[in-house]
Amino acid sequence: MTARHPIVILGSGYTGEWLCRLARQQSLPILASSRRPDSRLSYVDPHARLRFDLAERATWSALPPDADLIWTFPATPLEQVQAFAMHYCSPPRRLMVLGSTSAYDTSGDQVGGLPPWINENGPVDTSLPRVQGEEYLRTHHRAIILRVAGIYGPQRNPVEWIRQGRVGPTDKFVNLLHVEDLAHLCLLALQAGQAGETYNVSDGHPRRWRDICAHVSGRWGIVSPRQEGNSESGKRILNQKAVAHFNYTFRHPNLYEALEAMQGASPRRG
């Protein structure tokens, strides 16, 4: 992969750190931002650290004018997003924004007792502030939006979510994506995504929490303290547009194999 411009990762949380490491492996020119760069960006060379806070206008000019941007925090509030974008999100700069599959409004849609499959044409809930910010950036500044499923990986281990009772054995469907796959898809989308387009990113295998809990219980004897109960139906996210457009092969196509690897490497992190 070649990059004409440096890439700035706006916001260096969980995904941002994986993105930085992957970009470095691919020898891409990368800069990372944080609101507290000295304490949060120890894994980045000092010269590649930027202080950036969407809420603090004085920090915006730290971004190199020729850099492409990967925006990894919710694009809110709208007024700040608009003010920032007016000055810093114009072509030829490429802009990619991480959204969420929670944008999709599926209230009431059930087919044969199952939630519908949702592609990028599904209706979104425009009352959600982050959806307003993303749609503004997409329609006015040609941002590429990735609608991201639940992110898991080392230090975000669904086995620990079950152990802690954050989730339990309900019939709700969940769509997940390993953070390593997300990092690869982000870089591909920045390079090859069509400006102004939206792509769903998930591993393509929605599962019921009940089934994940049964697997975890059978394999490791870990049972959620949360009771069974009525739940929402969840969603089933289609990822075919991204997979086809980016010709992507998942590093972690199978949740259970990924859990096995994480449990072997780090038994009690979540």
Ligand X SMILES: NC(=O)c1ccc[n+]([C@@H]2O[C@H](COP(=O)([O-])OP(=O)(O)OC[C@H]3O[C@@H](n4cnc5c(N)ncnc54)[C@H](OP(=O)(O)O)[C@@H]3O)[C@@H](O)[C@H]2O)c1
Interface with ligand X by CB under 6 A: which residues? 11-16, 34-36, 40, 52-55, 72-74, 98, 100, 148, 150-151
- Which residues, other chains included, contact 201 with Cβ-Cβ below 8 Å and sequence gap of 6+? 146, 147, 148, 149, 177, 181, 182, 185, 239, 242
Q: CB 113 → ligand X: shortest distance, Å?
A: 26
Q: Look at residues 176, 132, 157, 114 and name the one whose alpha carbon lies nearest to residue 270.
A: 157
Q: CB 211 → ligand X: shortest distance, Å?
A: 19
Residue 92 preceded by cis peptide, ω within 30: yes
Closer residue to ligand X in complex, CB, 13/228? 13
Q: CB 74 → ligand X: shortest distance, Å?
A: 5
Q: Which residue number places its CB atom closest to ligand X?
A: 13
- Tell me how crowded residue 224 is: count the other CB atoms within 10 A of its CB: 21
Closer residue to ligand X in complex, CB, 228/266? 266
Cα–Cα distances in Å, from 176 out to 94, 110, 268? Answer: 26, 21, 20
Query: For residue 145, what are the β-bridge partners?
Result: 97, 198
On whether the CB atoms of residues 129 and 75 are closer than 8 A, the answer is: no
On whether the CB atoms of residues 105 and 125 are closer than 8 A, the answer is: yes
Q: CB 83 → ligand X: shortest distance, Å?
A: 13
Closer residue to ligand X in complex, CB, 111/158? 158
Residue 77 preceded by cis peptide, ω within 30: yes
Q: CB 112 → ligand X: shortest distance, Å?
A: 27
